[in-house]
Amino acid sequence: MKKTLCFIGIFTLMFADIIYAQTAAEIVDASRNRISANTVSTRSRMIITAKDGSKTERVIDQYSKDDPKGNSRTIIVFQSPASVAGTRFLTVENPGKSNNQWIFLPEFGKSRRVDASEGSGNFMGTDMSYDDISSANRDPGLDTHTLIREENMNGQACYVIQSIPKDSSYQYSKIIQWIDKNTKIAYKIELYDKRGTQVKILETSQVREVQGRLTPIVTKMTTLAAGTSTTITVEIIKYDDPIPEGVFTTRYLETGRP
């Protein structure tokens, strides 16, 4: 009888762990796909703060639209200052694998493919890497998710979920995020390097309802050891505005015309 009870107890714990992991994956998926829209168009202001407190400013436009198969596509266009104006960056979701990415730098006059091995590289002098830029569209199936606890943040009850990449080549060894239980907004994300040291933190400090959708307006990425940060404030956002298919092509990267 004791052996039977022990077996049942172990089986119950194993089964509970499986359900727990599945629930964590579903929460992450719901967080990344919580806004339903055919398209998203934004203009944002980036403030890059150096260790000495000096600041530089950039203005970017961003356009997002799924392809006919439901894969996400996003293009970022730098508008100012003059030193980066005309730079364009395209990300296309590649289900089950790293996203496909291309960048166009005006001084070179042509676009180039960003190799997956460059994912940890600095993106345009900001605190974001190439991987960070496309993390909102990262396939949840690429990581193992565990719900480690629940706690309050910003006065809201949150799930605290740890995500460990299945591919050891990914730049982070683990990611811990605080996801609002009701809205599914990720208020804080901690990012850890291969040694298990926290290297960055991404925080959402302001949200606003736009066209009936609760939308993050101010986010800040901080690089802890460097003492630098990049704050992005969305100044204009429009959902469901038409975006030509030609925008999500390397031709548009190079010409700026769909």
CATH code for position 100: 2.50.20.10
Question: Whole-angstrom Cα distance, residue 193 to residue 171?
Answer: 7
* Partners of 114 in beta bridges: 101
Tens of pLDDT, residue by residue, the chain (258 residues): 333 333 333 333 334 444 444 589 999 999 999 999 999 999 999 999 999 999 999 999 999 999 999 899 999 999 999 999 999 999 998 887 778 999 999 999 889 999 888 888 889 999 999 989 888 878 889 999 999 999 999 899 999 999 999 988 899 999 999 999 999 999 999 999 999 999 999 999 999 999 999 999 999 999 999 999 999 999 999 999 999 999 999 999 999 998
Range of the domain at 118: 2-255
Q: Is the dihedral of CA 231, 234, 240, 244 positive or negative?
A: negative
Give the count of domains, the chain: 1
